[in-house]
């Protein structure tokens, strides 16, 4: 049996290599990782994030972008589903250098990466003040907010409002899930 070995790359080598590719790749600190396609729910939630951020940040110094631009976090390259930056960005930029808020829409396949690996990378990136992980198959989020040099976590559910003091806006969580329907959740036996 032949096992293909991946050749290690530096961050600089990866960035130069990726610029020549016809689709995006993330960088795990060792080599390229192909980006996979998503579901309708993922696409709709990502669209709703940008729509909600665009309308609330219009005329303010911060602006949303993503998912077609990348960030470098702890030496890794990531393509978050949405990013908010409060720094100027050149029109031809492919990397957002000072992300302030980062959003990821979690799927079964990305859960470990989003909840553990990216959490550590984003916490190690001092400009990131808030990391929001949105569930894909139900209305819910886990929000990590920077307090000093540590992220504190809290959970949001349907009916809750996502406050983002670092960019001066609030968004009802349900707004990120507009135009999606989810099966009703069953109450546990003890609650009935």
Where residue 66 falls (left for φ over 0; alpha for ψ -120 to 50; beta otherwise) is: left
Each residue's pLDDT tens digit, 136-173: 999 999 999 999 888 999 999 999 999 999 999 999 99
Residue, of 53 and 5, whose pLDDT is higher: 53
What pTM, to 2 d.p., does this model score? Answer: 0.88
* Percent of the chain with pLDDT strictly greater than 90: 71
Q: List, for residues 46-89, the tens digit of each pLDDT value.
A: 999 999 999 999 999 999 998 999 999 999 999 999 999 999 99
> What pLDDT band is residue 6 in, cutting at 50, 70 and 90?
low
> Structurally, what CATH architecture does the domain formed by 39-69+79-180 represent?
Alpha-Beta Complex (3.90)
Cβ proximity of 53 and 102 under 8 Å: no
Q: Is the confidence at residue 36, as pLDDT, over 80?
A: no
E strand map for 13-136: 25-27, 32-34, 63-65, 71-73, 76-78, 82-85, 99-106, 130-135
**Domain-wise residue ranges, the chain:** 39-69+79-180
* Cα pseudo-dihedral 89, 48, 135, 163, rounded to 10: 70
Which tokens hold the place of 61? 């110094």
Per-residue confidence band for 1, with pLDDT thresholds at 50, 70 and 90: very low
């Amino acid at each position: 049996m032949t096992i293909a070995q991946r050749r290690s790359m530096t961050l600089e080598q990866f960035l130069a290599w990726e610029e020549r590719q016809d689709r995006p790749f993330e960088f795990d600190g060792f080599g390229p990782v192909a980006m996979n396609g998503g579901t309708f729910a993922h696409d709709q939630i990502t669209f709703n994030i940008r729509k909600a951020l665009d309308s609330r940040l219009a005329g303010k110094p911060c602006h949303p972008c993503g998912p077609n631009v990348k960030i470098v976090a702890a030496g890794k390259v990531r393509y978050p589903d949405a990013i908010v930056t409060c720094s100027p960005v050149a029109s031809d930029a492919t990397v957002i250098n000072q992300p302030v808020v980062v959003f990821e829409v979690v799927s079964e396949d990305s859960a470990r990466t989003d909840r553990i690996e990216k959490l550590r990378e984003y916490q190690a990136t001092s400009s990131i003040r808030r990391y929001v992980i949105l569930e894909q198959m139900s209305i819910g989020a886990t929000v990590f907010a920077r307090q000093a040099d540590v992220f504190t976590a809290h959970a949001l559910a349907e009916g809750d409002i996502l406050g983002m003091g670092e960019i001066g806006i609030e968004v009802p969580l349900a707004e990120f899930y507009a135009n999606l329907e989810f099966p009703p959740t069953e109450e546990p036996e003890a609650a009935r």
